Amino acid sequence: KAGVTQTPRYLIKTRGQQVTLSCSPISGHRSVSWYQQTPGQGLQFLFEYFSETQRNKGNFPGRFSGRQFSNSRSEMNVSTLELGDSALYLCASSPSGGLEETQYFGPGTRLLVL
């Protein structure tokens, strides 16, 4: 099975712009979670989608949003970018988001905001 894929791998944007990141989960996985990873804050949970519905949300401003499509692919969008949004954005998938399930991570999208 192919692993979790994320596109693009690298992005450079300027403040005020918006950006859309994409994540394709492992085939058959319906739960997709997004995380922001920074040297200062570590790994922080953004949100989780399951069957096209946002099931859980972390403590991020409304500029961060996401969606999931019927094929379980997910996108996250960040509007009005700020310098502090520079980070590695990771997505992870699992079959149904169950407590016991392992999350499989993608390679991440590294976003640099100038």
Partner 1 sequence: AQTVTQSQPEMSVQEAETVTLSCTYDTSENNYYLFWYKQPPSRQMILVIRQEAYKQQNATENRFSVNFQKAAKSFSLKISDSQLGDTAMYFCAFRVNYGQNFVFGPGTRLSVLP
Shortest Cβ 113–partner 1 spacing (Å) = 20
CB closer to partner 1 out of 78 and 109: 109
- Cβ(46)–Cβ(34) below 8 Å: yes
Binding site for partner 1 (CB under 8 A): 3-4, 33, 35, 42-43, 45, 48, 50, 55-56, 58, 90, 92, 97-100, 102-108
When the beta carbons of 70 and 102 are compared against partner 1, the nearer one is 102
* SS3 assignment, position 85: helix
Residue number with CB closer to partner 1 (4 or 81): 4
Q: Which residues contact 42 (CB under 8 A, 6 or more apart)?
A: none
For residue 36, give the nearest of 12, 67, 64, 4 by alpha carbon.
64
